[in-house]
Amino acid sequence: MTVLKKGACFKRLIAMAGVAVLGGVAFIYSGLYPMGADDPHYDITTWALETLRENSIVRASQDIEVPSDLATVDRLLKGGADYNGMCAGCHLKPGKSESDFTLGLYPTPPDLAAISRADGDADSKAEDQRNFWIIKHGIKASGMPAWAPGHDDERIWNMVAFLKRLPELSAAQYQILTARGQ
C-alpha cells in the first residue's frame, strides 16, 4: 500500500469516527431515548450497564479486608436493625415479595431476603467485599444510595453480617433480630 493510499484510508477512518461521534451527540440531545422508570432499557443498554456495573464493583472491591468476626451475634443484631430501617423498604423482608418502592423502581432492587448466599470461602469473601462496597458507595442511577456519609465502616460491616444470614430467616426471626432496643 502506498503512502498516499494509507493517508486516504486514515482520513476515511477519522471521518467515520467523526460521523459516529456527531451521531451519538445528536442522539443524546434528541431526547429520543426513553428515560421513564416505567419504560425498560433496550437490551443492549441493559447489557452494557450491567456489565459495566459488575466489573467495576469486582475491581473496586477486590482489595477490601473482610473482618473475621462477621458471624457474631452483636454484628447480626446491629446490622439487622439498620437493614430494617434503611434497606427493607426496597430490598424486602422475609415473607414479602414487593413494596411500594419495588413496584416503582427501575431497575428493580434485588430481593435480598430471597437471594441464596455463596457457600465457598473464596466466593463468600468476594460476596462480602462486594456487599460492603455497594453499601458504602452505592450504585449510580439505580436508587441505591451511598451509606458512607454518616455511617462508619464498622456499621456497614454489621449490615454485611446481617445480609449473610437474611435468606435463612423466617418472618418471625427477622422481626426479633431487627427490633431496635430502646
Instruction: Please tell me whether residues 162 and 100 are part of one structural domain.
Output: yes
Report how far residue 106's alpha carbon sits from residue 121's, in angstroms, rounded to the nearest whole number.
Answer: 32
Average confidence score pLDDT of the chain: 89
Instruction: Please tell me whether residues 17 and 64 are part of one structural domain.
Output: no
Q: At what angle do helices 121-137 and 43-61 cross, to 10 degrees?
A: 100
Count of structural domains, the chain: 2
| Residue length of the chain | 182
CB-based burial of residue 159 (10 Å sphere; 0-12 exposed, 13-18 middle, 19+ buried)?
buried
SS3 139: strand
**For residues 141-156, average pLDDT:** 93
Among 6-10, 168-172, 177-181, the range of highest mean pLDDT: 168-172
Instruction: Please tell me whether residues 79 and 119 are part of one structural domain.
Output: yes
Report how far residue 64's alpha carbon sits from residue 130's, in angstroms, rounded to the nearest whole number.
Answer: 9
Among 3-7, 110-114, 167-171, the range of highest mean pLDDT: 167-171
Give the residue with greater pLDDT, 7 vs 148.
Answer: 148
Q: pTM (2 decimals)?
A: 0.82
What is the Cβ-side half-sphere exposure of residue 182, based on CA atoms within 13 angstroms? 0
Task: Give me the residue label for grid cell 442522539.
Answer: 27
Instruction: Please tell me whether residues 135 and 67 are part of one structural domain.
Output: yes
The answer to whether the bond into 107 is cis (omega within 30° of 0) is yes
The pLDDT of residue 153 is above 50: yes
Q: How many CB atoms lie within 10 A of CB 139?
A: 17
The parent domain of residue 7 ranges over: 1-33
Residue 47 belongs to domain with CATH number: 1.10.760
Instruction: Please tell me whether residues 59 and 137 are part of one structural domain.
Output: yes
The pLDDT of residue 182 is above 50: no
